[in-house]
Structure 1
Amino acid sequence: MRPRLVAALATAAAAAVGGLGSACGVVPGTDAAPTPTEPLGPAAVYRNVGTEGLDALLTGVVRIDDGCLYVDGPEESGRYLPYFPVTDTAWEDDALVWNGERYVDGDPISLGGGEIGPGGLTDAVAPAGCDDSPAWLVAP
C-alpha cells in the first residue's frame, strides 16, 4: 500500500471540537527535521517545523485498525488519527515508541497537541488505509 500524503497549506485555520482545544496551526521554522516519505508502521507522522498553541490534551486508547493507528477518545470526543513528529517517534517490534514509552493496541495514551482541520498540515504522511477521522497534531 502506498502512503497517503497529506499536503495542504500550513496557514489554514485549525478547529476546536468537543472541548478538546485547538491547534493554532503549524508555523514554518528553521530546524532541519526531515520530511517524512512514509509512515512509521501504522503511525502517521509529520515534519516538525515548529508549533504554536498546541496545548490541548487528548486521552484515550491506542487502536490499530486496518493498518492505521488511532486514538479512541472518550465517547463524546470519538476517534482521532494522531500525527506524531517524525524525529521523536519510532515503530519497534509492533509497538509505537513515543516520549520514551511503548504503546500497543489497547494501551491508554495521553497526547498533548491539538486538532487540525482540513488544510492545516504540511509535510505529513499517513498509511493508505487510514480513514477520514479527525486529525490530531501531537506536540513535540
Structure 2
Amino acid sequence: MSIIKRIITLLLILLSSNFVISQTTKSNDNRPFLVNLNDPLVAHYSVSKDTSRMSISFYVNGYESKQKREKAKKERIDKLNKQKRPDYVRLPTFYINYIDVQKPEKLTTLDCDYKTLNEFNSSTSTQFLIYIIIKQDDGTYLKWSPVLLPEE
C-alpha cells in the first residue's frame, strides 16, 4: 500500500513540475519576430543607411486603425473639457517603441523558428528585449536586438 502511495505521489510531482516548466517556456518565448516593414501593425520605423541604428514602433492592440486612435483622442479631450480643473488628461499609448544602436547580425538564410508580427501582443507584452528580423531587398535578413523604450 505504501508503494502505491509513493508511486502516485511521484507521478503527481512529475506532472506538476512538467506543467510549471511548460508555462515558463511559454512566457519566455524569445523567438525573433519576422517583420514586414509594410505591415499595417508597424507604426513607424527608421534604419540608418549603414544599419548601425534602428528604431521601430508597433501599434498597441486596440489602436491599429486611425479611427480607433481618433476616437480615443476625442474621448480623452471630452473628459478634459468636463473636468472642473482641466490640468492634465493623458492620451492613451498608441505605440510601443524599440531602438537598437548596434549593427545587426546579417543572416543569409532564415533557418530559425520565428514569430510573425501578428503574434506580437503589444498591449500585454512585458518583454524588454526582443529580436526583430527584417528581410532586405537582396534576399538576406538583418537581425536586431532592440530594447524597449520607456514611456514618458
Report the TM range for the smaller structure's normalisation.
under 0.3
Q: Larger relative contact order (C-alpha < 8 A, sep ≥ 6)?
A: 1
Q: Which has the higher strand share?
A: 1
Q: TM-score, normalised by structure 2?
A: 0.26
